């Protein structure tokens, strides 16, 4: 297990290298951000002088080489908007994003597990049709539209929850619900398919023929063996959660990475953009590693060579 974890950590290095190259190339193609750093009445001479002082007039490979050299030292540059180092600012916003992401995942799993199990055990029943219809609707609704609707209903009309911000449990409810809805719909659909396949296995029929209670058959035998696909689904949804926070945090003014990244893109604050994308990439890769480790804990038959 330790050798496998070490190997996966080593594999992160080339992946992060490729991500850094893609992000830097996209930032390079986006154009020179110097015009946004200077007043509107700045002369072309001032623009050229600042461009040269920042090294933005050098060839792409030269700029990327300097970027990599700084990157290995944890230096993503300085944000011209906030006038401070980019990485500490990004890490300062990270706990808010993690709070929202974890709350959304927990809420999604809490909704999806009972719906998926009930739907699989009661095929073609009203419960199954309701769960299937809800999954389609939940998956189809865009995050920004759902967030606005939740604000209109539960904040503006009913006054139950705050409209925006962070600080209390009430501030967390609507953003987490917005993120969790689409994820729960996906997990419900895939968990239902997995449960139906497992319930048709021979060992399930054997357990039923022995007179074991249906609840024990479903939850101890069938559901337990569907945990590996469930872990896979949740791990794959990590990237969906992180991507969803970009819009959700903007809608609810949640002070996390998503809101910071959107603002940085609008202002062409490239140091913040690069630091945000890099941190998000590490989060997604780490969650995939956690999922692989959980496979071994859930099923000892799985061996890592």
Cα distance between residue 49 and residue 122, in whole Å: 71
Q: Are 248 and 149 in contact (CB under 8 A)?
A: no
* Percentage above 70 pLDDT, the chain: 83
The top-scoring range by mean pLDDT among 125-129, 147-151, 269-273 is 147-151
Q: What is the pTM of this model?
A: 0.75
Residues 6+ apart with CB under 8 A from 184: 107, 108, 109, 111, 112, 115, 138
- Residue carrying structure tokens 């998000």: 280
Confidence of residue 305 (pLDDT cuts 50, 70, 90): low
Q: Are 187 and 109 in contact (CB under 8 A)?
A: yes
pLDDT of amino acid 221: 66
168 has pLDDT over 70: yes
Q: Centre a 10 Å sphere on the Cβ of residue 239 and count the other Cβ atoms it contains.
A: 16
Angle among Cα 146, 237, 261 to the nearest 5 degrees reads 65
pLDDT of amino acid 10: 76
Residues 6+ apart with CB under 8 A from 45: none
Cα distance between residue 115 and residue 110, in whole Å: 9
pLDDT of amino acid 53: 67
Cα distance between residue 302 and residue 305, in whole Å: 10
pLDDT of amino acid 41: 61
62 has pLDDT over 60: yes
Angle among Cα 240, 219, 119 to the nearest 5 degrees reads 60
Confidence of residue 17 (pLDDT cuts 50, 70, 90): confident
Domain positions in the chain are: 15-73, 95-298
Mean pLDDT over 170-180 rounds to 88
pLDDT of amino acid 134: 79
259 has pLDDT over 70: yes
Average of per-residue pLDDT values in the chain: 78
Residues 6+ apart with CB under 8 A from 292: 4, 8, 304
Cα distance between residue 257 and residue 57, in whole Å: 30
Which tokens sit at 275?
Answer: 């630091």
pLDDT of amino acid 296: 67
Give 54's DSSP letter: T
Confidence of residue 50 (pLDDT cuts 50, 70, 90): low
Cα distance between residue 115 and residue 132, in whole Å: 9
CATH class of domain segment(s) 95-298: mainly alpha
What is the Cα 4 distance to its own chain's centre? 24
Q: Report the candidate in 65, 55, 81 with the shortest Cα–Cα distance to residue 21.
A: 65
Q: Centre a 10 Å sphere on the Cβ of residue 44 and count the other Cβ atoms it contains.
A: 7
More confident of the two residues 60 and 55: 60
The per-residue pLDDT for range 197-223, each reduced to its tens digit, is 777 777 777 777 777 777 677 766 677
The per-residue pLDDT for range 80-125, each reduced to its tens digit, is 777 788 888 888 888 888 888 888 888 888 888 888 888 877 777 7
């Amino acid at each position: 297990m330790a050798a496998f974890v070490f190997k996966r950590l080593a594999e992160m290095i080339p992946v992060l290298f490729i991500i850094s190259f893609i992000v830097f190339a996209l930032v390079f193609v986006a154009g020179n951000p110097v015009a946004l750093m200077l007043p509107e009445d700045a002369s072309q001479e001032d623009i050229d002088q600042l461009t040269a002082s920042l090294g933005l007039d050098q060839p792409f490979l030269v700029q990327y080489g300097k970027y990599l050299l700084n990157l290995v030292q944890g230096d993503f540059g300085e944000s011209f908007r906030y006038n401070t180092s980019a990485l500490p600012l990004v890490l300062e916003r990270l706990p808010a994003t993690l709070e929202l992401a974890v709350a959304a995942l927990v809420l999604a799993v809490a909704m999806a597990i009972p719906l998926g199990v009930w739907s699989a055990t009661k095929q073609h029943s009203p419960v199954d049709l309701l769960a299937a219809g809800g999954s389609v609707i939940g998956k189809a609704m865009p995050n920004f539209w759902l967030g606005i609707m939740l604000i209109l209903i539960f904040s503006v009309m009913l006054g139950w929850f705050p409209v925006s911000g962070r600080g209390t449990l009430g501030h967390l409810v609507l953003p987490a619900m917005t993120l969790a809805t689409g994820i729960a719909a996906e997990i419900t659909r895939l968990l239902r398919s997995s449960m139906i396949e497992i319930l048709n296995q021979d060992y399930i029929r054997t357990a039923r023929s022995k007179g074991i209670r249906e609840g024990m058959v479903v939850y101890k035998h069938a559901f337990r063996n569907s945990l590996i696909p469930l872990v896979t689904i949740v791990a794959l949804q990590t990237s969906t959660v992180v991507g969803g926070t970009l819009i959700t945090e903007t809608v609810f003014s949640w002070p996390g990475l998503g809101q910071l990244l959107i603002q940085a893109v609008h202002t062409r604050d490239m140091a913040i953009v690069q630091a945000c994308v890099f941190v998000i990439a590490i989060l997604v890769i780490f969650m995939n590693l956690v999922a692989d480790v959980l496979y071994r804990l859930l099923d000892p038959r799985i061996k890592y060579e």
